[in-house]
Chains A and B, each alone.
Chain A
Amino acid sequence: MDRSSRSRSRRLAPVVAVAAAAALTLAGCSSDSGGKKAAEGGSGAPAGKAGTPRMTVALVTHQAPGDTFWDIVRKGAEAAAAKDNIKLVYSADPSAGTQANLVQNAVDQKVDGIALTLAKPGAMKDVVARANLAKIPVVGLNSGLSDWKKLGLLQFFGQDESVAGEALGKKLNEVGAKRIVCVIHEQGNVGLTQRCDGVRKTFSGKTETLYVNGTDRPSVQSTITAKLKQDSSLDHVVTLGAPFALTAVQSVADAGGKAKVATFDLNKDLTGAVKKGTIEFAVDQQPYLQGYLAVDSLWLYKNNGNYSGGGEQPVLTGPAFVDKSNVDRVAEFAAKGTR
């Protein structure tokens, strides 16, 4: 039987296919119209480099893989690191236990400073104490506004999620919203829940909550469509992340309603949608600034003993609104992936 030879060629075929595809993909990378160049241009203003001794800073967040938002935080941190002659070690894990381990890892490495997020403050308590014991300065960013001082962090950069929610709620009152639905793309996430609660607090109309499966775009779209059809009196959809806002726009079109979309957070496609008017406004907490300031503050602390916010008050990076009136200025930076 010629079975063996035939099956060998069958086995070869996929290998050849992989190689061909890889070659094509590589060709895609080396294309000079590539986004790589743009990204490099985007990572930080072309400032000089500090002449201070090399130091190592660990940035540990609760980022889930592939989240646009955290990508921008990281770019900010990298920009500051490049300017301050800092070696930045970035690590992240959405589960609190693993994140705490990553912080411990940084303590073990005897880094010169740690910047971390306090999505689950209780889980970080012990490792922060251990870092303090090892005399490693620790700063907080993004989440943990109510806990950073209790845990003994030097300073904090971020936006109070509830305050941001409240600001968005007020803005909704201004634009005359009556009934809204707040779309939570990750059930059980503290920060996201706080945003919706903040909106509910100041918004004078009725707020409903909707959970969607954030990892499956068609499911997000059809679930929001379903909600809009179920309750046609909804006039605003509030999403808690930029990709979900863009999906919500399609849901509104599908449901044939006149509901408007407002959202937390920005990305470059979103600024385009604000420009076009398909998204009414976005509230921005300036993630780039959070990453940048957190790293830069550790450099200032080490080299000049400064405390941002005097060590007493947090440094707020939001909420800043982006709507038709100021989107052009923001869009320029968002296109580079830094806003």
Chain B
Amino acid sequence: MSTAQRTEPASGPPPVSGPVRGAGRPLALRLVARPEVGVFLGALAVMVFFLVAAPTLRQGDSMATVLYQCSTIGLMALPVALLMIGGEFDLSSGVAVITSALTASMLSYQLTVNVWTGVLVSLVLSLAIGAFNGWMVVRTGLPSFLVTLGTFLILQGVNLAVTKLVTGNVATDDISDMDGFGQAKAVFASSVDIGGVQVKITVFYWLAFAALATWVLLRTKYGNWIFAVGGSKESARAVGVRVDFTKITLFMLVSFGAWFVGMHNLFAFNTVQSGEGVGQELIYIAAAVIGGCLLTGGSGSAIGPVFGAFMFGMVNQGIVFAGWNPDWFKAFLGVMLLGAVLINLWVQRTATRR
């Protein structure tokens, strides 16, 4: 597959052009062969399909709703994708979102301090969880699937038990009347008026982070290291890539994302249910894979998962806008996703043949 092209360059200048093998082919074909272009076409197809099927989707504020759903998935799909390029998984990412939200909420409420204190402590804790995941993986050499499955279960239990212990209930107390809440809400969960359409701020963060991640991947040494450690750890180490550092920071990046989305959840909904978040990790991974990240690591992009998350959110909301029989909802979702991925694959195959 053409997607393996990223594995060879371990260090040195980052590769700028498309597939090396297909250098002689026309530009259009070379473009289409890139995984993120394939998923872009898939996402476009899904969008056009629903725009035709669901008239109410054509309004600006309906699109804003769709984009909001996409952004909360996409914000996490980004670091998850980077981690996958680096050759690792994080199954704890879904519940880590809730852990950070719970921490910030309970700390602020229990100590009656400005919510920003909770926000910062929660950031420290989240990064520590990420560092722990990374450190365990690097130190033991165990598959990250196992290590983070452990953290996933631990966090799930701790979320529930500590919330119960601290608040006496399974949900945190409403913090919306505390100092700093307004500011934090403005930062994490406000809306921006664009031509009369209220667009949630997460959409902008999502796109900005995606741009930043693309730049890091393609233009920095660290980006190169990510591809290198995901391709082959040994050869990466041989050419002087700091493998352990790269992997640990990637895990910390995921927990940073979890913190960010957790803060959004907290300031958008005022309280946090301790049992939430389970199963979300698979949605993040799905968005990254649909976006062209290889399950085996070493290949992918930051822009692909943006389209992956968009496709997922679009299908999710599109079915509602289309007013289809909701009993079939999950089945529709599965068929649409599978169809989109198949189109993506077919486009790539056709484009890279000859």
Contacts and interface: CB of A to CB of B under 8 A. Distances in A.
A13 interface: yes
Given A65-B160, A225-B65, A229-B65, A40 B274 contact: no
Given A7-B244, A215-B276, A229 B107 contact: no
Contact of B280 (A187, A215, A225, A269): A215
A24 interface: yes
Nearest to A34: B110
A25 B125 CA distance: 10
Contact of B245 (A10, A34, A226): A10
A269 B174 contact: yes
B222 interface: no
B92 interface: no
B131 interface: yes
B165 A36 contact: yes
A21 interface: yes
A337 B168 contact: yes
Interface in A219-259: 219, 221-223, 225-227, 229-231, 243, 246-247, 250, 254-256
B121 interface: yes
Interface residues of B, number: 71
Interface residues of A, number: 59
B326 A210 contact: yes
Is chain B's interface secondary structure helix, strand, loop, or mixed overall? helix
Given A67-B275, A226-B320, A229-B62, A21 B156 contact: no
A338 B191 CA distance: 36
Most buried by B among A66, A215, A219: A66
Contact of B321 (A11, A18, A230, A337): A230
B143 interface: no
Nearest to B328: A211
A320 B170 CA distance: 23
Interface string B94-132: 000000000100110111100000000100110110011
B276 A28 contact: no
A14 interface: yes
- Is chain A's binding surface mostly helix, strand, loop or mixed? helix
A71 B174 CA distance: 17
Contacts of B107: 24-25, 28
B11 interface: no
Nearest to B121: A24
B349 interface: no
B278 A215 contact: yes
A268 B170 CA distance: 12
Contact of A18 (B112, B132, B166, B329): B132
Given A14-B135, A210-B326, A35 B275 contact: no
A64 interface: yes
B131 A66 contact: no
Given A18-B128, A34-B166, A66 B276 contact: yes
A330 to B, nearest CB: 16
Interface stretch (B2-10, B261-269, B334-342): B261-269
Interface stretch (B37-45, B53-61, B79-87, B298-306): B53-61
Nearest to B321: A230
A47 interface: no
B317 A222 contact: yes
Given A217-B265, A219-B316, A28 B54 contact: no
Contacts of B220: none
A216 interface: yes
Contact of A21 (B57, B121, B270, B276): B121
B66 interface: yes
B131 to A, nearest CB: 3
B65 A11 contact: no
B323 to A, nearest CB: 6
Interface centre among B111, B171, B244 (most CB of A within 10 A): B171
12 contacts: A10-B248, A24-B121, A25-B125, A35-B109, A39-B169, A40-B168, A66-B171, A211-B329, A215-B278, A215-B279, A223-B317, A229-B56
Interface of A: 7, 10-11, 13-14, 17-18, 20-21, 24-25, 27-29, 31, 33-36, 38-40, 42, 64-68, 71, 187, 209-211, 215-219, 221-223, 225-227, 229-231, 243, 246-247, 250, 254-256, 267-269, 272, 337
5 residue pairs, one from A and one from B, having the closest CB atoms: A66-B275, A39-B168, A14-B131, A17-B128, A21-B125
